[in-house]
Structure 1
Amino acid sequence: MKIGLVSLGCPKNLVDSETMLGLIHEQQITITNDPAEADLIIINTCGFIESAKEESINTILQMGEYKTTGTCKYLIITGCLGQRYAEELLENIPEADAVIGTECYEDIAYVIQRVTQGERFIMLESLKKAELAPPIPAPRILTTPDYMAYLKIAEGCDNCCSYCIIPKLRGPYVSKPFEQVLGEAKALVDKGVKELIVVAQDTTRYGEDLYGKLRLPELLSELNKLEGLKWIRVMYCYPNNFTDDLIEAFASLDKVCKYVDLPLQHASDRLLSSMNRYDTKSEVEALLNKLRQRIPGITIRTTFIVGFPGETEADFQELKAFVEAQRFDNAGVFSYSQEEGTVAADLPEQIDTQIKEERFHELMSLQAQISEDMHHNMEDMILEVLVEGCDEENPDLVFGRSYKEAPNIDGSIFVENAGSVQAGEFIKVKILQGFTYEMVGERI
């Protein structure tokens, strides 16, 4: 039997997919990248916002067609959409044989066994939930390039932002044991990984539930000791838990990228309160000033939501002024998505779709100009670049990232006259030109 897996959504979901692939491989089952030749297809879905749900449904239907056009006999739906709409999916998608929830990834071998025996079912609770034994790290088959990997340090979320369904889909915040995380990291580095990207719904909260204190600074200090590791990149930091100890870790640990991913969502105190965010605008401004003062060369990435219920034109203009004043290196913008089951979905003063789209494009346009200006200001700067590939027609033109760019969400650096170099190597590059989403440089 051959099994194919399609992973949608965020890097945290990708780690879950890699775990399932590892467990499938342990069963000596063949894994294929071609769904047309798979006997069983697993779709690990995202259900965070409306666009993600649409992508997940479309992918499920596309994969379901292989039951007619390919060799596929069984279809398993998992991930956040499966957790959220299990009954509806099984009822309305006849091609689906099983829908399993976000607790059940490590039960995938059991699920496959039941499905191939002809059962059609929903499973939302893990067989291992009642086990008291210490968790054993599940095997993973990396789907990222062999020089980088995601390191997930926690499951779930306790923040309960009013617009977000994740706590209901993923449960409360549960840190992985400290030694387990270190063991996973060491195993990845031993395989040749040079960049570890630390992820969780909230990385800054790490350790609070298990140890009664925030242990991300300590974790970064231990990861920094791993021989062979070059970069440690931390994503999904919340401002309320960005302590002085964590700032010191970013500033002093040589392998920790001076790159802070800090979702802020808005600048209006009234809306921040309605979103159930912990910080005020002035508190965020104070943190940003401290980060820039204490971490030389820092790059700050953030995200914002426009069109949240009750957002007035004055609120939006306040957000624009904040973005203009802070001049973030990179920022993602989302139009508010009214998600059933969230507090914000029932708030009055829902914003018209057209207004949300206009504000989205206006803020994106502003940030694009800021990013272009920031990249122009980097001309003549010398950066260390992780090579990720080369142009098919011109092998001397390679592309990669510096510490200032995270994979998939930030831009690339294109390097001319790079010479003989392989993906995963680090080279010194002088920036020649900066554009909105990319830069061009030459190897030195």
Structure 2
Amino acid sequence: MVSNVNFSLINLWCTKNLVDSQYFLGRLLDISIKTPDYQVNYFTDPFDKEAKIVFVNSCGFLSAGRNEADTTVRKLLKAGKTVYLLWCAAQYYKKLIEEQGARSKAQEPVTWNFQPVTKIHYLSRGDLNKISLKNIMQGYDSTTYGDFEFSTWPRVYTNLEQKFEYLKIAEWCNNHCTFCIIPQIRGKQKSLPMEKVIAEAELMVKSGIKEIILIAQDTTRYGTDLYGKPQLLELLKKLDALKWDFTYRLLYLYPDIVTLTQINELKKLKKFIPYFDIPLQHISSPILKRMGRFYDEWYIIQFLDQIKKTFPVYYMRTNFIIGFPWETEEDFGKLMEFVGEARFDNIALFEYHDEPLATSSKLDKKVDYDTIRARFTKIRQLVNRQLLENEHARKWKEETGYIMETWKDGKMEGLVVRPVLHCPEIDSYDEISLKQVIGTFEKKSELGIWDKIVYTV
């Protein structure tokens, strides 16, 4: 008798989680082929009455991600689903429970009281090679939270229709920034060997992928654990040498490893998209030092200036934490001034809060919440104003981009276009009418997804 495994999967937040989810889907499909007693059925809607099991893959690093996962899990349980919490979030809760118990045993103060949601199951990346359809149906729970190997299972490219995909070149991180808990819950950096990165890139482009997005917790330190020193530039040169027609970009660059000379080397790469996603976190040198960052204000300014001098066209994205312990009005004022002068293309802002497992939670001179809120509001207004100015400056100018979808509203027809420099799923798209397309064509049907067009904004 064949048993049905009716499941759905929810991926929240991180693109690195998405890659894990894609491998997990591939793993389930692979073992279903080899297990004739079970029929695997995937449902896109997790609340479909036929979907009995729902896997939730969410961020364990950001509290907002954990809160969303918690809300999602409770809704699923209320709907009568069997719920599995995967990878990063599962490892966070396991670590939190261990830390809570250790502090209580040592009679140390515990400033939180975490109570795990009952009736759910936990799976870590270390279980990917161990799971079976039988133990999933029986309610399998992880026992190997720290174990990890790069997956050798098939991967489901869920972004194939839009012609882009993420390639994770390394796991985890060695940096130990004081506000971050990734090393505690996930471990030290493990890089994917260069030949395997190239092999996956080849598979992607042969499958129809036109843009590869390289990701890791810290892409700039790629290869340090395998080759004794960072090998990102060498990896990019090998990618650039591949014969197929595709481009690639990098996310999560740390400026302390990328030298000014290497920026010049990046310009020589033909397939490289000059997109610089640099999580600076702050500009004040004293705050950066307390954050555990490896650079200061002077180096940041030199680094950004070198990019602007080297690339005639580029896109620059960053993020900042507002209200980190010891942040004074002078520190915040310096950040405001820097944001006003640097003119980033996209900025993400975060309010500081204590994470139970983070070193920064033990720092003194905390900034009170009302002050954090006031500073956050002030810098958010500045950023929003800059983004509006950036959009206004683009008006009536020519832009090159890829068609992502088409639309029709009555007699009006148009396109949703992603500018070439903008990153999928992160940066803004343009919604234009057909009249804004530069060039001649007889009808909209001549234009397809991922066609490259020139248009006026």
Query: If the TM-score is normalised by the length of the shorter chain, which range does it land in?
Result: 0.7 to 0.9
Query: Structure 2 residue aligned with 1:287, among 272, 292, 303?
Result: 303
Cα 1:328–1:400 shift into 2, 3 Å: same
1:339 paired residue number = 355
Find the aligned partners of 1:66 and 1:48 in 2 and give their Cα distance: 27
Q: How many residues align?
A: 417
In the alignment, is residue 34 of structure 1 matched against residue 60 of structure 2?
A: no
Contact 1:216 1:246 in 2 (8 A): no
Q: Relative to structure 2, which stretch is displaced further, 180-189 or 57-66? A: 57-66
**Ranges in structure 1 where 5+ consecutive residues have no aligned partner:** 130-134, 431-440
1:424 paired residue number = 450
Percent identity, please.
31
Find the aligned partners of 1:308 and 1:384 in 2 and give their Cα distance: 39
What's the secondary structure of 2:313's corresponding residue?
A: coil
Find the aligned partners of 2:130 and 2:389 in 1 and give their Cα distance: 48
Letter paired with 1:95: K
In the alignment, is residue 109 of structure 1 matched against residue 126 of structure 2?
A: no
2:419 paired residue number = 402
Q: Kindly state the Cα deviation for residue 333 of structure 1 after the two structures are TM-superposed.
A: 0.7
Find the aligned partners of 1:122 and 1:215 in 2 and give their Cα distance: 34
Q: Kindly state the Cα deviation for residue 83 of structure 1 after the two structures are TM-superposed.
A: 0.5
Query: Structure 1 residue aligned with 2:28, among 24, 29, 36?
Result: 24
In the alignment, is residue 415 of structure 1 matched against residue 432 of structure 2?
A: yes
Find the aligned partners of 1:9 and 1:169 in 2 and give their Cα distance: 17
Query: Structure 2 residue aligned with 1:277, among 280, 293, 316?
Result: 293
What's the secondary structure of 2:274's corresponding residue?
A: strand
Q: Relative to structure 2, which stretch is displaced further, 388-397 or 213-222? A: 388-397
Query: Structure 1 residue aligned with 2:119, among 72, 91, 95?
Result: 95
Q: Kindly state the Cα deviation for residue 246 of structure 1 after the two structures are TM-superposed.
A: 3.5
Q: Relative to structure 2, which stretch is displaced further, 373-382 or 287-296? A: 373-382
What's the secondary structure of 2:402's corresponding residue?
A: strand
Contact 2:15 2:166 in 1 (8 A): yes
In the alignment, is residue 137 of structure 1 matched against residue 152 of structure 2?
A: yes
Q: Kindly state the Cα deviation for residue 91 of structure 1 after the two structures are TM-superposed.
A: 6.9
Find the aligned partners of 2:356 and 2:21 in 1 and give their Cα distance: 26
Deviations 1:218-254 (A, max 9, x none): 2222222334443211100001011245413431222
Q: Kindly state the Cα deviation for residue 34 of structure 1 after the two structures are TM-superposed.
A: 2.0
Deviations 1:364-412 (A, max 9, x none): 2112222222333334543320111123536732112123211222111
**Ranges in structure 2 where 5+ consecutive residues have no aligned partner:** 33-39, 99-113, 438-443
Contact 2:172 2:187 in 1 (8 A): yes
Contact 2:56 2:85 in 1 (8 A): yes
What's the secondary structure of 2:72's corresponding residue?
A: helix
Cα 1:22–1:285 shift into 2, 3 Å: same
Find the aligned partners of 1:148 and 1:251 in 2 and give their Cα distance: 22
Find the aligned partners of 1:125 and 1:265 in 2 and give their Cα distance: 28
Q: Kindly state the Cα deviation for residue 123 of structure 1 after the two structures are TM-superposed.
A: 4.3
Length-normalised TM-score, structure 2: 0.86
Alignment of 1:5-84 (within 5 A): 5-28=9-32, 29-35=40-46, 36=48, 37-67=50-80, 72=81, 74-84=82-92
Query: Structure 1 residue aligned with 2:383, among 356, 363, 367?
Result: 367
Find the aligned partners of 2:284 and 2:334 in 1 and give their Cα distance: 7
Cα 1:38–1:403 shift into 2, 3 Å: same
Q: Kindly state the Cα deviation for residue 50 of structure 1 after the two structures are TM-superposed.
A: 1.9
Find the aligned partners of 2:139 and 2:68 in 1 and give their Cα distance: 28
Find the aligned partners of 2:303 and 2:140 in 1 and give their Cα distance: 54
Contact 1:43 1:60 in 2 (8 A): yes
